[in-house]
Structure 1
Amino acid sequence: MRAVVIAVLTLFVLTPVASARAEALTLVHAERVPLGAGILTASFSAWPIRAGRSLDFTFEPDGGIDGHTGALRAIAPSGEAHALGIVGLDGNVDMKLPRHPRARDVWGLDVVALPEEGLWRFEFTVDGAATATMPVPVGPAPGPPPAVSWAVGMAPWAVALVVLSRRWWRVRGRWDRGWNG
């Protein structure tokens, strides 16, 4: 019995540690773009990219990121510079690139969604001088149009509203008759 108790306690103590470990970053596509005298490699966790669908981006110049600074400007298909709204960044359209949380040896953006389809343009600046521009094609959002999704999602609430309204009318009728009927 004592061995079973020790095994269960060990399981409870070690389980949160195992589940707290960050999942490895899986990259499925990479693009190499000229950056000054070198190359910048941009990698993606999903390809092709779909509008509104979260994915990870990583960016790495030749020789790595140690001792370098990088910035990214995302230009939407409409031509406007777009702040991607990443948690921890200041919302500035010229984003200072942080290290990726699950791949600390490269710069990256974790779980970001590009909000509209079309040809995006990523403009990189490394160490304030070397620049690179990369076109990023973004396809339509997956799934049905938002109006259809909302209608399907709200249908159970509409049924519940009808059922609750009918019950309320029945109870109200009994209340008006003094609960005698």
Structure 2
Amino acid sequence: MRAWRLLQTLLALWVMLGTASAQTSPKTPAFAPNVVHTETMQVGAQRLSVQFTSAWPPRAQKSFDLIFAPEHGTGNLTGSWKLLGPDGSEVDSGDSLPHYPRDRRYWGLDSVGFTAPGLNTFVVTIGKSTGTLAVQVGPPPAGPPRLLISVLALLPVFGVLLLAVRAWRRSTPLRRLNSKAW
């Protein structure tokens, strides 16, 4: 009983110290806990910070997340974007930049993918002003082909399916036997 009381006291003390240190520690930005690279671009009069939250440098055929942080917040601004490939063709686009869920002062894009290596360009429009940001994209990551990975991932499913068919076939004669016994 005494050990239990001591453990409760130590736990309460630990919680109080943790709460006090969390209140005195410097605040981390709420919008980007996992930013790995930041670029700055000028869109008209707005300075726009573009934050990448995946591995840097980006590679072709990989997706990553982006956060667009205007210098003074989004306020009542509207923004749109498009991604141009190395040859100038439009790879991806969006009608409007959606708000970042963790902080409504910023815009965020989830799972943007560069399809080709080379110099890809983001074109961002805020109001009537347009700005561009060039991003050098490396080759696709090395590894086995996607088809091989997919087949290997489905092998356990085929194994379970095979076991289910085998169990069904083995139980069929037993069901016939039981029906004749009546």
TM range (shorter): 0.5 to 0.7
- Kindly indicate whether the alpha-carbon contact (under 8 Å) linking 1:53 and 1:141 is maintained by their aligned counterparts in 2: no
CA contact (8 A) 1:73 1:123 kept: yes
1:162, 1:97 → 2: CA distance? 47
Task: Provide TM-score, normalisation by structure 2.
Answer: 0.60
Contact 2:40 2:48 in 1 (8 A): yes
Q: How far apart, CA to CA, are the structure 2 residues paired with 1:44 and 1:134?
A: 13
Q: CA deviation at 1:123?
A: 0.3
Q: How far apart in 2 are the matches of 1:127 and 1:149?
A: 44
Q: Describe the shift of the 1:66–1:162 C-alpha distance in structure 2 as closer, same or farther (beyond 3 A).
A: closer
Structure 1, unmatched stretches of 5+, are 1-22, 84-92
The answer to whether the aligner puts 1:35 opposite 2:43 as a matched pair is: yes
- Residue 160 of structure 2 is matched in structure 1 by 160
CA distance in 1, matches of 2:154, 2:125: 46
Structure 1 residues 136-157: Cα deviation after superposition (integer angstroms, max 9, x where no partner): 3344258643112211111123
Tell me the percent identity: 28
Bigger radius of gyration: 2
CA pair 159-34 structure 1, distance change in 2 beyond 3 A: same
- Please list every run of 5 or more consecutive structure 2 residues that lacks an aligned counterpart in the other structure: 1-29
| Correspondence for 1:11 | none
Greater helix content:
2
Question: Counterpart amino acid of 2:42?
Answer: P
Q: How many residues align?
A: 145
TM-score by length of 1: 0.60
Cα distance in 2 between the residues matched to 1:94 and 1:104: 18
| Correspondence for 1:100 | 100
